[in-house]
Amino acid sequence: MMAGADRVEGTLLGNGERTGNVDIVTLALNQYSQGVSPGLDFSDLQAVIDVVTACTELPVHPRHPYAGELVFTAFSGSHQDAIKKGFEAQAKRHAADIKTGNMLYWEIPYLPIDPADLGCTYEAVIRVNSQSGKGGISYLVKQALALDLPRRMQLSFYQVIQVLSEETGKEITMEDIVSSFKKVYRFGGGVHEGRLILKSFTLSEVPPSRPTSPNQENGVHDTGRRFEGKLLVDGAVRMIRGEGNGPLSALLDALHGHLDLHLSVREYSEHSIGEGTSVKAASYVELVKPDADPSDKTIGGYWGVGVDANIAGSALRAVISAANNALGDDPVTPAKAHIVESEADISTAVYDSLSLELPKHLQSAFLKVTKLNTTSTNGAISLDGLISLFRKTYEYDQASQGPFTLREFEGIVSIAGKNEEVIGEGNGPLSAFLAGLHTHLGKNARSPEAPGAELHGQIEIREFAQHSIGTGSSVKAASYVLLGMDAASNRRTAWGIGVDEDISIATAEREEPDFKHPPLPLARIKKVMKNDPEVKMISADAPILFSKACEIFISEVTARAYLVAEQHKRRTLAKADVARALSKSDQFDFLIDIVPREEGAKRSARGGLNRNEPKPGPSGSGTGTVTDGALTTDTNVMLPENVQAAESLLEGEQTNAGLMAQSIPGYPVSGPVNFAYASGSAHHQ
């Protein structure tokens, strides 16, 4: 056509009326490969092939020029390596040409034209069989996982694929290669995870304890790194810790100290994956056993790969990947603890042995106990000895201690070697148990400083923490409580630990309001209190105190009323439910007491306000009596006159004030209720 011919006759894929006519597809694409446009559109060559084969019922040879299914496929290892390197060089060349505005030319060994120009993909360019080399295999890994393997790792993985190819005797697909890579290097999570799984970690700087170089002696210190992490070992969680010059050596130190797995780094490399904000780091590491010479490359090591958004995280995951290969099926033998130097040592040992995540303050307290008990051995103690000391110090036992009921406690407690029946009530199981324990404190507890003197103080919860142990149906709850008592002579604190299948038994639950049901309207209480002119509104002088008191009151009454309804298997409240919720004497840990009045007390004309005359009592306080086990007030005490008086209640001054109100409208109860504000030397109510 370029020479002036009017037309050119030929065949499609060699199938014509006579032998010798040229294949138009071959002729046109030969010109196209030399930069000459044939004027024919072969952007969807497969559609042309489908039409020809359907009309002639003649197949196209797999190696037919440009149209055969194997025309862009390389099986030879040398060809695959050349194609791989050609793609890499062309990517760099095109990037530079784009910046300078030059034309982009296709130039890849063994690929005269771009398969994409014919509607083909690059997936079939490199295919793997027993003749394939490491270059082709690493190219497919890069295409599938965006991982550019180091040369020595290519050799290591090539051997894996060669064994697979010889065993199966067939072509290895992309899926086979990717699956084998994930399995060998424990990459990608899920079913491919190994025996060691890094769940979380922290890295911190650690200054050296003594100078190790002239720069450090001159005041210039090279800081080390400390690794602390949570590692799954055969499904069991272990806290490990190690130190080194960098993150990798710190993790290897942790594996050596806690798992007796001694490895060192021979080779390390990394590169980025992606661009912009979604970029990630890929790291590759080769580990060797301690008896191997790191410089002797003829001795095989253990390769690992890790990918993470953080470069340190990717390097650490690569180490865990290689450590899984080194570990194999060998049993894990944790090393014994030696010198206990910090809270971290305590936390790690207790967590590994008992699965208890100790609060920070408890770690510090037990560290002091450990040092006192290891003075003769210069702080050295075995892991079994440490755990035994922990159990003995805190009388730790996982046996069940018996059930609680919500907000009420009844049980038998051994106090000073004698079994005592303890009964108490409170906002939650913890406060209920302490309330019952207070009644036995004076007659049973003795001061260590003065054995003949009774302890007079209020026990309070200073700190509380909890976590679960295990998973599924075998999960247990672990709780930690720090109790404190401000006695007349001094202040004391003590830790306690409990484990049980029932979280309410192990922890006595956190003392929180019940949000299961909507609270009764606060406006109703305010309206009731405003109906009587003789009742001075606390909201006029201390609105914050009033609001908080009402909030706690209605939350507690609501929770108790619905509990009564649930006990009677009712979904909605009955009038009697609220009455029963207020039928007992209750002490609250914050600001208020709710106390039912004496049965038979006369109601006022405005709705049952008790107008009993005050009885004589100590100056500045109201008197009270105990009738049938329930506290009832015998006097009406005026509220604080101003904000300063209200604030003094929070400062522990000897002041009592009471506010009386009738029952909630619409929910009659057996008697009106007292809102009492009180303070004392021990604690506020």
User: Model confidence over 529-577: pLDDT tens digits?
Assistant: 455 444 444 444 444 555 556 666 677 677 777 777 777 777 777 767 7
Q: Out of 290-304, 398-412, 580-594, give the one with best mean pLDDT.
A: 290-304
Tokens found for residue 540: 């006029």
pLDDT of residue 525: 45
pLDDT(452) > 60: no
Distance separating alpha carbons of residues 404 and 428, to the nearest angstrom:
10
So what's the pLDDT on residue 315?
A: 94
Q: Is the pLDDT of residue 502 over 70?
A: no
Q: What is the pLDDT of residues 312-347, one digit of tens each?
A: 999 999 999 999 999 888 887 665 545 677 787 788
Taking phi first (over 0 means left), then psi (-120 to 50 degrees means alpha), and beta for anything else, what does residue 35 get? left
Q: Given this model, what pLDDT does residue 685 score?
A: 31
* Max mean pLDDT range (391-395, 428-432, 467-471, 503-507): 391-395
What pLDDT is stored for residue 542 in this prediction? 46
Q: What is the mean pLDDT of residues 581-609?
A: 38
- State residue 532's pLDDT score: 44
Calculate mean pLDDT across residues 630-655: 35
Q: Give, to the nearest 10 degrees, the angle between helix 311-327 and helix 174-185.
A: 90
For residues 611, 615, 619 and 623, what is the CA-based torsion angle, rounded to 10 degrees?
Answer: -90
Ramachandran assignment for 366, one of left (phi > 0), alpha (psi -120 to 50 degrees), beta (any other): alpha
Other Cβ atoms closer than 10 A to 53: 14
pLDDT in tens, 69-125: 888 877 777 787 788 888 889 989 999 999 999 999 899 888 888 888 888 877 666
More confident residue, 150 or 74: 150
- How distant, in Å, are the alpha carbons of 82, 95, 164, 558 from that of 133? 11, 28, 14, 76
Distance CA 313, CA 136 (A): 29
Confidence of residue 506 (pLDDT cuts 50, 70, 90): low
- Structure tokens of 191? 């079913």
pLDDT score of 189 more than 50: yes
Per-residue pLDDT at 350: 84
pLDDT-derived band at 196 (thresholds 50, 70, 90) equals: very high
596 CB-contact burial (10 Å; exposed 0-12 / middle 13-18 / buried 19+): buried
CA–CA gap between residue 156 and residue 63 (Å, rounded): 32
* Percent of the chain with pLDDT strictly greater than 70: 64
Q: For tokens 């038994």, what's the residue? A: 505
Residue 470, pLDDT > 80, answer no
Looking at mean pLDDT, say which of 58-62, 125-129, 376-380 comes out highest: 58-62
* 55/39 Cα distance (integer angstroms): 24
Q: What's the CA gap between 140 and 127, in Å, rounded?
A: 9
pLDDT for res 354: 81
Domains by residue range for the chain, with CATH: 1-72+111-127 (no CATH), 186-207+223-327 (3.30.160.270), 522-591 (1.10.20.10)
Q: Is the separation of the CB atoms in 250 and 244 below 8 Å?
A: yes
Residue 285's CB: how many other CB atoms inside 10 A? 30
Q: Which of 351-355, 488-492, 562-566 has the lowest mean pLDDT?
A: 488-492
> Is the predicted pLDDT of residue 474 greater than 80, yes or no?
no
| pLDDT band at residue 609 using 50, 70 and 90 as cut-offs | very low
Report CA torsion sign: 307, 309, 311, 315. Answer: negative
Average pLDDT of the chain to the nearest whole number: 71
* Contacts by 78-83, CB closer than 8 A, 24 or more apart: 78/133, 79/109, 79/110, 80/126, 80/132, 80/133, 80/135, 80/136, 80/139, 81/133, 81/134, 81/135, 81/136, 82/109, 82/110, 82/135, 83/108, 83/109, 83/110, 83/111, 83/125, 83/126, 83/136, 83/139
Among 322, 287, 324, 326, which residue's Cα sits nearest to residue 305? Answer: 322
* Residue 454 DSSP code: B
* 3-state SS class at 147: coil
Place of tokens 């995280």: 313
The amino acid that residue 469 corresponds to is I
Query: Residue 382 has what pLDDT?
Result: 77
Q: Which residues contact 133 (CB under 8 A, 6 or more apart)?
A: 76, 77, 78, 80, 81, 158
Report whether 117 contacts 111 (CB < 8 A).
no
Task: Give the pLDDT confidence of 218-259 residue by residue, as tens digits.
Answer: 554 557 888 988 888 888 877 788 889 999 999 999 898 888
* pLDDT at residue 270 greater than cutoff 90: yes
What's the gap between Cα 342 and its chain centre?
Answer: 24
pLDDT of 431 higher than 50 = yes
Tell me what pLDDT residue 285 has.
Answer: 95
- Say how far apart CA 197 and CA 229 lie, in whole Å: 11
Q: How many Cα atoms occupy the beta-carbon half-sphere of 527 within 13 Å?
A: 8
Phi then psi for residue 140, to 5 deg, are: -65, -35
pLDDT in tens, 31-44: 888 888 888 898 99
The model's confidence at residue 618, banded by pLDDT at 50, 70 and 90, is very low
